[in-house]
Structure 1
Amino acid sequence: MRLPVTSVQVTEVERVTPRTARITFEAEELDPGVGGSPDQQVKLCFPRPGQDAPVLPERNDDAMGWYQAYLAIPEAERPWMRSLTVRRRLPGTRLLEIDFVLHGDAGPASAWAERARPGDRLGLVGPSELYARPVPLGSAVAAADWVLLAGDETALPAIHTLLAALPAGTTALVFVEVADRAEEQPLPAPDGVAVRWLHRDGAAPGRPLTEAVVAAELPAGTPFAWLAGEAAAVRTLRRHLVEERGVPKASIEFTGYWRHRFTQDDAPTAEDLADAREKSAQATAD
């Protein structure tokens, strides 16, 4: 299966909260059967200064050949690449909605999204099952007594898709940390789903989320837990669930989307590498 690499063009920009931009892209190519599963991740390629559009790696039939082609681009021309989550694939079209958390010019994705206009172009790697392992939502929920979703604003698009895909009647607790009340967004909340918003209001990233989950009175039984957001907070929550709540490691899906005081261009820490090894081992076991 070939991992798609294509060009996308902005068709619409909507500011859904003061710090969130929802941008709709139309892809030159997009396989009809992908992009609609929960928590579907893609990579976006952003142009370097002075470029109208990013230089994209050559396409080939090797699933990972795109990355070697990406590295072969001269560094001064090589696009910045960031991982984001598809909020919605519009059925029957080549349109994708992707939400960007805006935090000024601290990174290429946020800086680009602050200024994005219809007609702007980026590169897209994915969506593909080869790139992001689908969350085993159906089997995981069937084997669990209830569901726990916990993350910050970077996890909101994935949480939205996960809630929309939950079987009717599922008991679920959702904890979402955002900067303040203005950053709350509508989420699917059918019967049995309770959503709790947590506001940083100047607190350190991840602190309100970890404190709320640790202090929460959770339902009886074994949950399926999905954790995403700031890497250290995700690591703390996972350790708490395993060591203090007795949740089996196999019942937890976890991803550190970002790292406080680091960028995706910075080298991984020892803890990042340990998480990656454990996720790889878990995927192999599944």
Structure 2
Amino acid sequence: MSTLTVTSVAPLTPRMTRVTFTGDGLADVGTWPDQQLKLLFPKPGGPAHVSDSPDAGVWYQAYLALPEDERPWMRSFTVRALTGGVLTVDFVLHGDSGPASRWAANARAGDVIGRFGPSRDYARPLGKADLLVFAGDETALPAIASLLALLPPDQEFAAVVEVADPAEDQDVPGVRWVHRSAGEDLVSAVTAIEVPPSAWVWLGGEASAVRALRRHFTGLGVPKTDIEFAGYWRRSLTQDDAPTADDLAEARERIEALGG
């Protein structure tokens, strides 16, 4: 584990901001599709750094050993870019309802937070198929945008992203934008697409929507092994709340998919 120092903060849309960081070891991480990491946001008067151990079990035990009023808030994020030792993370802003959004809305150059990852233990190759399907909400947009940038020019794909309104659309070629302000929703938009069983699918975003889409694609005959999925957030719950039965089932399936 190590720390990150903010080098720049730039708004992308009214509800998303981009933060760049530098930090020890970033230049040695390397890159792969859909890189994920843990960010630790210090509580008032508390530490950003937990442990120098590179071992996940050791630093997590050190994290849990901190008194709760000092223990940083920990959230999972997808890397938007990692180039030349500079890490870029896009944050969704949804007011003061969560520590990550609250921190990002007030972030300034020089601010310090903690990180663990990205770890190659969780690296998965980009799928291969005649049609690749990417679907998610704004929390999945950084991952989808980075994955689309890896596609060869002749790769056929469908990408659907649900956001609040047209002001949240970004310059990501090939994305179909779904706007909640217009009464649209991700599940309806994606299930209306004609997708063959031979497709490879990537899903991310609100957990119940991801589960509904995963059931849809398995019902079409897409093998479970050809569906990458992640419930990034849960309606009315945070990452600090206990996992639900559906969360635990999803975690087991993801571990099995990784060969664990």
Provide the rounded CA distance (Å) in 2 between the counterparts of 1:108 and 1:201. Answer: 26
Displacement, 1:60? 2.3
Q: What residue is the counterpart of 2:161 in the other structure?
A: 176
Q: What residue is the counterpart of 1:48 in the other structure?
A: 43
Q: SS of 2:140's equivalent?
A: helix
Provide the rounded CA distance (Å) in 2 between the counterparts of 1:268 and 1:85. Answer: 20
Structure 1 segment 13-24 matched on structure 2, within 5 A = 13-24=9-20
- Alignment RMSD: 1.6
Provide the rounded CA distance (Å) in 1 between the counterparts of 2:118 and 2:125. Answer: 17
Change (3 A) 1:118 1:151: same
Displacement, 1:167? 2.4
The structure 2 residue matched to 1:128, chosen from 94, 116, 119, is 119
Q: TM-score, normalised by structure 2?
A: 0.95
The answer to whether the Cα contact below 8 Å between 2:3 and 2:48 also exists between their aligned partners in 1 is no
What amino acid does structure 2 have at the position aligned with 1:222? S
Seq. identity, %: 53
Q: SS of 1:201's equivalent?
A: helix
Displacement, 1:195? 2.2
Q: What residue is the counterpart of 1:106 in the other structure?
A: 97
Structure 2: which 5+ residue stretches go unaligned? none
After superposition, the C-alpha distances for 1:103-149 in whole angstroms (9 at most, x for unaligned) are 0000000001111111111011112213xx22321xx21xx221000
Matched, 1:38 2:27: no
After superposition, the C-alpha distances for 1:15-48 in whole angstroms (9 at most, x for unaligned) are 01000010011113325242x2221011111111
Change (3 A) 1:69 1:250: same
Displacement, 1:282? 1.8
Q: TM-score, normalised by structure 1?
A: 0.87
The answer to whether the Cα contact below 8 Å between 1:146 and 1:170 also exists between their aligned partners in 2 is yes
The structure 2 residue matched to 1:118, chosen from 100, 109, 113, is 109
Displacement, 1:59? 1.8
The answer to whether the Cα contact below 8 Å between 2:132 and 2:156 also exists between their aligned partners in 1 is yes
Q: What residue is the counterpart of 2:77 in the other structure?
A: 84
Q: SS of 1:67's equivalent?
A: helix
Provide the rounded CA distance (Å) in 2 between the counterparts of 1:60 and 1:201. Answer: 46
Change (3 A) 1:134 1:62: closer
Matched, 1:195 2:175: yes
Structure 1: which 5+ residue stretches go unaligned? none
The answer to whether the Cα contact below 8 Å between 1:146 and 1:221 also exists between their aligned partners in 2 is no
The answer to whether the Cα contact below 8 Å between 2:29 and 2:118 also exists between their aligned partners in 1 is no
Q: What residue is the counterpart of 2:186 in the other structure?
A: 209
Matched, 1:279 2:254: yes
